[in-house]
């Protein structure tokens, strides 16, 4: 049995969780067709809809943990729920997306079970011994790692696999109230600030995305990029460092821990192109990179490149676009 921790957003399975299910199905097939089951923690607005969606992605059974113990997020509490689901299903593999939640909860699970955990797995080879390949050094290198204890616990790097349907009919739904010890409730979320408006849906569906990274230089460095995006009828996407420094909101992030975009044209400005970011933009049809460093990974992997400072190049492009539209200099 393979158990997948499925995260949800607005009642639907998160894309990274569906990607994890794709890897889990491949692993299940390699193991001779073992069933894939899901564990969902917390309340779900429409269980029937989620059961149907997960069934489309090859899940036979869903175990939903409910009750006071998991009402607020806590790494230990959620891990207690996953641990109980693992014991009930006798799963020999427990996996989750390599998201903030996924890495945290499975680290707790591995510590509780005293087994190794592999973070950010991209592939597996062989079942005995079970060897996984995972991203290290921010994706600049890979590690082959043995996972020879059971359960094998690992997370799947965001966007390393593609979500794909494999219908088995709606998944059977079970609920359970996990037994969460008081000590596991000590480090739980006590309050959540109101979320800023989330525009990541329009980012994921945009035909044109203009991106900016550390090269923007600060929170004030995004105006030309936003203007170019608007002129092209597109959206703004940013790299992880930009959101972790608080320069732009998290929902604009493109990459492994952000959105995966598939536009006709992506224009990354001042983005070096680390794997973390590349994983989210590699499916763009055409990439035009603008960067001062001609050897930056983004510049060599792109379809087109302009060598230069985004603070000079982007305003010049904006001016040229306006000139051709209105026929006058501005």
| Positions 158 through 187 that interact with other proteins (CB under 8 A) | 183, 186-187
User: Which one of 34, 35, 71, 73 is in contact with other proteins (CB under 8 A)?
Assistant: 73
List, in sequence order, every residue forming a beta bridge with 202; answer none if it has no partner: none
Minimum distance, C-beta of residue 116 to other proteins, in the bound complex (Å): 5
Instruction: Select from 27-35, 52-60, 171-179, 281-289 the region that touches other proteins (CB under 8 A).
Output: 281-289
DSSP 223-287: HHHHHHHHHTT-EEEE-HHHHHTTSS-GGGBBSTTSB----SEEEEES----HHHHHHHTT-SEE
Question: Is residue 194 a contact point for other proteins (CB under 8 A)?
Answer: yes
Rounded to whole angstroms, the Cα distance separating 271 from 274 reads 8
Q: Residue length, the chain?
A: 330
Question: Is residue 203 a contact point for other proteins (CB under 8 A)?
Answer: no
260 in a known ligand binding site: no
Nearer Cβ to other proteins (55/94): 94
Q: Which two tokens stand for residue 16?
A: 């990274």
User: Which one of 11, 45, 138, 219 is in contact with other proteins (CB under 8 A)?
Assistant: 138
Question: Is residue 330 a contact point for other proteins (CB under 8 A)?
Answer: no
Sequence-separated (6 or more) residues with CB below 8 Å from residue 84: 65, 176, 178, 179
Contact between 132 and 147 under an 8 Å Cβ cutoff? The reply is yes
Q: 3-class SS at 39? A: strand
Question: Is residue 280 a contact point for other proteins (CB under 8 A)?
Answer: no
Total of residues contacting other proteins (CB under 8 A): 87
Q: Which two tokens stand for residue 116?
A: 């190794």
Pairing of strands 61-65, 141-146: unpaired
244 in a known ligand binding site: no
Question: Is residue 81 a contact point for other proteins (CB under 8 A)?
Answer: no
User: Which one of 12, 47, 170, 301 is in contact with other proteins (CB under 8 A)?
Assistant: 301
251 in a known ligand binding site: no
Rounded to whole angstroms, the Cα distance separating 143 from 141 reads 7
Question: Is residue 43 a contact point for other proteins (CB under 8 A)?
Answer: no
Question: Is residue 26 a contact point for other proteins (CB under 8 A)?
Answer: no
Q: Enumerate residues 82-101 that contact other proteins by CB under 8 A.
A: 99-101
Which segments are annotated as binding site? 214, 239-240, 253-257, 270-277, 291
């Amino acid at each position: 049995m393979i158990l997948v921790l499925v995260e949800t957003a607005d009642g639907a399975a998160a894309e990274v969780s569906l990607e994890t299910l794709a890897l889990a199905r491949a692993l299940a097939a390699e193991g001779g067709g073992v069933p894939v089951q899901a564990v969902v923690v917390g309340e779900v607005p429409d269980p029937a809809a989620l059961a149907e969606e997960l069934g489309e992605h090859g899940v036979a059974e869903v175990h939903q943990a409910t009750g006071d113990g998991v009402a607020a997020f806590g790494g230990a509490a959620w891990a207690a729920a996953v641990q109980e689901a693992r014991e009930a299903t006798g799963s020999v593999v427990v996996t989750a997306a390599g998201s903030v939640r996924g890495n945290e909860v499975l680290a707790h699970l591995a510590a509780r079970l005293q087994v190794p955990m592999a973070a950010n797995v991209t592939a597996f080879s062989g079942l005995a011994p079970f060897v996984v390949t995972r991203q290290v050094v921010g994706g600049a290198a890979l590690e082959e790692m043995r996972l020879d204890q059971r359960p094998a616990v690992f997370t799947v790097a965001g966007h390393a696999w593609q979500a794909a349907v494999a219908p088995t009919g709606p998944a059977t739904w079970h609920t359970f109230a996990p037994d969460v010890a008081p000590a596991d409730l000590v480090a739980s979320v006590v309050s959540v600030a109101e979320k800023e408006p989330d525009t990541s849906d329009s980012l994921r569906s945009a035909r044109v995305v203009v991106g900016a990274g550390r090269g923007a230089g600060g929170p004030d460095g995004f105006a030309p990029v936003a203007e170019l995006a608007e002129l092209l009828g597109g959206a703004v996407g940013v790299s992880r460092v930009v959101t972790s420094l608080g320069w732009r909101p998290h929902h604009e992030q493109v990459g492994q821990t952000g959105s995966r975009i598939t536009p006709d044209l992506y224009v990354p400005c001042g983005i070096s192109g680390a794997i973390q970011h590349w994983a989210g933009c590699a499916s763009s049809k055409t990439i035009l990179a603008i960067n001062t460093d001609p050897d930056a990974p983004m510049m060599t992997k792109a379809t087109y490149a302009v060598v230069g400072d985004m603070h000079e190049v982007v305003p010049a492009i904006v001016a040229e676009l306006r000139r051709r539209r209105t026929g006058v200099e501005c």
